[in-house]
Structure 1
């Protein structure tokens, strides 16, 4: 098809040329040019051909005149690229002093100025020279202003100055003048400062850009929403946040637990129980089971019955057993509470189980045992060895060695114990 189109165009051009020649042959025209007593006479065809030839000669001459300057410019750009590449390589290798030198030379070329100074600022910061890093960022100019602001914020966040980073980024966010890194740093700084609204405002820009992987974006959203739920000042704000979350977000165990805890703290225990029980019906989660035992004393009897029923679903869940222990203790059933917590500690050394055991011993009046249990909770959190707990009445000492339960697959088939 392409060949036929080319042939057709050539035939058409030949036809036009033949017609034009026939038309000009009948009357080739006449051109006369007089300049200072000199007269030039020729036909229109020759005049046009002469003009085209003169234009071609002038074009070639201009290119020849520009060639040395263009070659010089190409040489300068090539050296700039080489210096930029050398600086980036030195930075990646950790040779920050050499990186600074190479990048400073590369920054002398306007085309490479912004990226060279941005990396040079990072190299200076890594060397422990924040003054030079700040100067490099100041010299970036308007072309790299958003990147320079993000780099400044990154330095502040890494040094723990989250309030300063937030003060730098929030005005830029108000005018939508932040880079994608700036939006992410704004979320991190806002979370560190407890400004959950600023962190929430940063999420849509990151979601639209799709600059993060799906898992990373989901993890950031979960952290921000969990913090916002935990900091909700009243039930109206809490329900607005929960209602504004997507269906997928409302299924995440961390968010269900955060909503339930805050809802219970605001006096909406039934709403908290409903969300947790619905989530556990969809898919079992130890994190949600833990939250179920931390909703306070309200509706403890109903929650205890539900948690006992869950044992058939997750007999090896140490968080569920810990929640059971808390609920038994709230009902003053200290014997059952200790049995559940003992089983939990055999399965996993959870600080929360030791803490609940301390609460249980406090209720029983064993203050020395409670002090030991609380101390064990701290030791367990630090990864240190725990101390044996003094026996209570006729009960033997708590044995925290692992015990075995029958494990079944998702199809109900028993699994063989691991070798």
Structure 2
């Protein structure tokens, strides 16, 4: 920039001289300088040339005075850049001690945010978290506008060290500063998963989608996964009900979450909580897992559930899962003949250990001991991954 300005000034001076030369030839002008008894007379052109010569001499003298210091600074900067390069090369080779030593020498003479961050990585490679934190503090303190980068580097190093819980607050603070920063969002996604912070992960999915980190389908899958893990982690019924209400209507219609809610409700001794969500989901599409959970949902409303299953069976008479569910419900209501018919059809269409075990109970109660024993054996065979054996012919 300075060189360009000097060129412009020289060109302007030459143009001005060319414009004024004819006039100065006709009338060179007169400059009179009087000081005490001294009097100096000269033409205007001589004065201008004298000023220019004096300025050039002063500039040359100043440059000569600054030359030793400038030469030393250039040599020091070259050494600093060479040490910085050596530090990066040692870092790439995994020589943590050599990298930090070279970077320290470089940073003594020339500040570099990349150098401070690289030195922090080298210190972490040696297992020295205190030195790593000092390097990161220097990077954040000396480069205010780049403190965001220093914070991001700190979070990466903490995650790499397995200290995810310490990295999360750093990343959350960075996320508040730049809500759409891809690097921060990706690290938050990783940190929330590692720390099992499923609610935070579920709430993060809209930001991930808006920033383009994941597409809509992936964002929906992440939200469902986080919500499922969140339901599984509930420790009591009150927390389970709170989490379920917070999920909202859209997630309430996801089969995976309905199943997770029903399973956790049963585990906490309140299976009736999931009766309504199960009924709504099954009315849309029959699913074997949901049917099995629906059979255990609410003992006080078993008759109503039997009636609903009978209506569904009229529409899909060959659905093995529905036959098994209805057979289990009949068995619980002690309607043994109807239970036997449904369960026998279920094991013919699609054998399962649960259906064989329930059918064994029905046959045992009916006095069909040999057939009941074979049903129990078949249930065990299916659990161990073997095939079933035919039941004895009816007596």
Q: TM-score range by the shorter chain?
A: 0.5 to 0.7
Question: CA, structure 1 residues 20+189, in 2 after alignment: closer, same or farther (shift >3 Å)?
Answer: same
Give the distance between the partners of 2:54 and 2:377, measured in 1 at CA.
105
Is it true that 1:241 corresponds to 2:210 in the alignment? no
Question: CA, structure 1 residues 182+117, in 2 after alignment: closer, same or farther (shift >3 Å)?
Answer: same
Question: CA, structure 1 residues 275+354, in 2 after alignment: closer, same or farther (shift >3 Å)?
Answer: same
Which residue in 2 is equivalent to 1:77?
81
* Deviation at residue 70 of structure 1 after TM alignment: 2.3
Which residue in 1 is equivalent to 2:279?
273
Give the distance between the partners of 2:373 and 2:123, measured in 1 at CA.
61
Question: CA, structure 1 residues 85+170, in 2 after alignment: closer, same or farther (shift >3 Å)?
Answer: closer
Note if contact 2:291-2:325 (Cα within 8 Å) is conserved in structure 1.
no
Note if contact 2:100-2:122 (Cα within 8 Å) is conserved in structure 1.
no
The within-5 A match list for 1:335-374 is 335-341=341-347, 343-344=349-350, 353-355=352-354, 357-362=356-361, 364-365=363-364, 366=372, 369-370=375-376, 373=379
Which residue in 1 is equivalent to 2:301?
none
Question: CA, structure 1 residues 87+237, in 2 after alignment: closer, same or farther (shift >3 Å)?
Answer: closer
Structure having the higher Rg:
2
Give the distance between the partners of 1:60 and 1:276, measured in 2 at CA.
89
Give the distance between the partners of 2:375 and 2:308, measured in 1 at CA.
29
Is it true that 1:325 corresponds to 2:324 in the alignment? yes
Which residue in 2 is equivalent to 1:141?
136
Question: CA, structure 1 residues 113+174, in 2 after alignment: closer, same or farther (shift >3 Å)?
Answer: closer
| RMSD across aligned positions (CA) | 5.0
Is it true that 1:220 corresponds to 2:235 in the alignment? no
* Deviation at residue 185 of structure 1 after TM alignment: 3.9
Give the distance between the partners of 1:55 and 1:304, measured in 2 at CA.
107
Q: Which runs of 5+ in 1 are unaligned?
A: 1-8, 91-97, 125-131, 158-164, 281-285, 313-319, 346-352, 380-385, 396-419
- 3-state SS in 1 of match to 2:239: coil
* Deviation at residue 32 of structure 1 after TM alignment: 6.2
Question: CA, structure 1 residues 114+55, in 2 after alignment: closer, same or farther (shift >3 Å)?
Answer: farther
Is it true that 1:66 corresponds to 2:70 in the alignment? yes
The structure 2 residue matched to 1:187, chosen from 186, 192, 201, is 192
Number of aligned pairs? 324
Which residue in 2 is equivalent to 1:162?
none
* Deviation at residue 324 of structure 1 after TM alignment: 4.5
Note if contact 1:196-1:227 (Cα within 8 Å) is conserved in structure 2.
yes
The within-5 A match list for 1:166-181 is 166=165, 168-169=166-167, 171-172=169-170, 175=173, 179-180=184-185
Which residue in 2 is equivalent to 1:254?
256
**CA displacement 1:165-221 (0-9 Å, x = unmatched):** 44x356546755794455224421442xxx543444544554454445666544432
Is it true that 1:103 corresponds to 2:99 in the alignment? yes
Note if contact 2:155-2:171 (Cα within 8 Å) is conserved in structure 1.
no
Give the distance between the partners of 1:134 and 1:367, measured in 2 at CA.
65
Question: CA, structure 1 residues 152+27, in 2 after alignment: closer, same or farther (shift >3 Å)?
Answer: same
Note if contact 1:355-1:374 (Cα within 8 Å) is conserved in structure 2.
no
What's the TM-score, normalizing by structure 2?
0.59
**CA displacement 1:39-58 (0-9 Å, x = unmatched):** 89785744664476457646
Question: CA, structure 1 residues 302+17, in 2 after alignment: closer, same or farther (shift >3 Å)?
Answer: farther
Question: Per residue, is there more helix in 1 or in 2?
Answer: 2
Give the distance between the partners of 2:340 and 2:34, measured in 1 at CA.
119
What's the TM-score, normalizing by structure 1?
0.56
